[in-house]
Structure 1
Amino acid sequence: MSNIPPTPAGLRGAVDLSSLVNRGTASPPAPAPASAAAAAPGGPGGAAAGVSDALVVPSLVVDVTDQTFQDVIELSMQVPVIVDLWAEWCGPCKQLSPVLERLAQEYDGRIVLAKVDVDANPQLTQAFQAQSIPTVAAVIGGRPLGLFVGALPEAEVRDVIEQVLQAAAQNGIAGRVQVADGAPDADADAAAEPEPEPLPPHHQAAYDAIEQGDYTTAIAEYRTAIAQDPHDRMAVAGLAQVSLLDRLQGATADELRAAAAAAPTDPAAQLGVADLDISGGHVEDAFGRLLDVFPTVHGAEREAVRARLVEYFELVGADDPRVVAARRRLATLLY
């Protein structure tokens, strides 16, 4: 797995959810002592507890809102909660959400997945600093942590969840939950729901390639889809996202930042660290860095910086006010 997506040990900072936490009528319980983590299911060296020891919940995958997020805060005192911030119109979300839901079931009560529709829940969207979607975070012992932005392959998502579990155990959060008897069965729910509309062939091929970590093939499939339909916005956004993953593959944050610091006028070095910024959700930093570099370069280098900015605009969304401002500044630099 690339070192680029922030991990629980080195995140872009905890999000302040105090305004949401304070809505609760009672204070969240204190985290369990470290000794409890060793005995809890999934804790280091600990045996699995009996069913009677598990906290009972309606489901391992829950939809939460600005008003009900206090339940997630309290639940996170027992098990880590993975938070999926998504939207119905978001193509990459439709790739990532099923992966998260499948893994939530696979971990069998060691994590809970909380899904947040960003269009309907602006306070949570702001609290988690969801500057583009999908955004995935975790809540451990009442403390929110950013994880990654964008649709990663399942193997990388699984790796992130393993790191979340390790971080939770280190903080005494290593419990387990059990779905209540009589609660809707996840498999039954899936069978009752209508089958999702299949992806177009090239989109499906790109998604399958991403699952295998074959970003080169995914890029080719998205480009073919765009060639067939230049107005395929999902393909354009998918191409931007997988191109970012491809560039960051094998890189480390320290290497990219060191290269940019050593060569502040080198556009290639600045493009590399801008990728790091955008992958971590630091949208304005990425825009500002490239817009500062743009007037200093010419020819092919100038076009590379312009093209990368346009790619970022696709990732963040044309209606985002930061994109509007950056696009306006780019236009003044161009003309």
Structure 2
Amino acid sequence: MSEFPQQSGQQRQPEAQEQAVPASVRGAMDLGTMQTGGAAGPGAAPSTGGGEGASYRVSITAQDFQKYAEQSATVPVVVALYAPQSPESETFVETLAQLVDSYQGKLLLGTVDASKEQQVAQVFQAQTVPTVVAMLGGQAVPLVNSTVPAEQMRQLFDELLTLAAQNGVTGTAEPTTAATPKQLPPLHQEALDKLEAGDLDGAEASYNQALAENPGDKDAKLALAQVHLLQRVSAMDANAVRQAAADDQQNIQAALDVADLDVSGGHVEDAFRRLLQLVRTTFGDDKDTVRERLVELFDVVGSEDPRVTTARGQLMRALF
């Protein structure tokens, strides 16, 4: 953490207000409509936004500060202040850039050379570099004023996205540099082609083969779980399934089917809540059946999704 020199003289500062980030909130990645390639929908490798190398990073100066403050009404803008005389701060900015890019446009990173852009530094009351502040709806949301581990920053970004969603800031930024399209492994491409042709069973076979050849292929495991979900919901009468679950809340199969429908429609937390309640109130084979489906849905959504992390902890407490 380094101090940066102050310039003399008073200058008009761009305006920003402060708003604290609630420590309890967590981010949520909407699975979206799986058949149209939502968040790593079936048949696609986990999405990388515009592809490998897509960047969501801009340089902010006092002259264009207002533009990005206004953009924060549609997408959160993470402002990272650094200084060339602090190599530590420059390295941290690169770490932030990689993290922000992984959110595929849900965040935009704005870097500020605090040694030159004193006006911007004063807006955020930054006394040291690195300092990281988010802009959300034109308001400043303080994050950190020192280097911290990447995982801690990811948690803060997840909290920021939850806060943004609560305030209706749910847009997506366009990449600031072109991306290189991601080349899929042959079996993944084969599965994708079969999915596009409506051949779910063929896609399942291709992903199974990919896993047989490489048991550690996480992308194939995720996609296979999503294909299994599509196979189940494609045979359902959604209205009849939901009516059956409403008529008998202890109808295990109906509950499993509704959970499938909820996840396929992006209502992940509703699905998890329904099945967790059944785990707590069932016994023996029924409990095992519900637990197994819940674990499978964890794979559908993705093990790194914070909703899965939360639900997995609740499942462990319900079982033990």
Q: TM-score range with shorter-chain normalisation?
A: 0.3 to 0.5
Scaled by the length of structure 2, the TM-score of the pair is 0.46
State which structure, 1 or 2, has the greater radius of gyration over its C-alpha atoms.
2
Scaled by the length of structure 1, the TM-score of the pair is 0.44
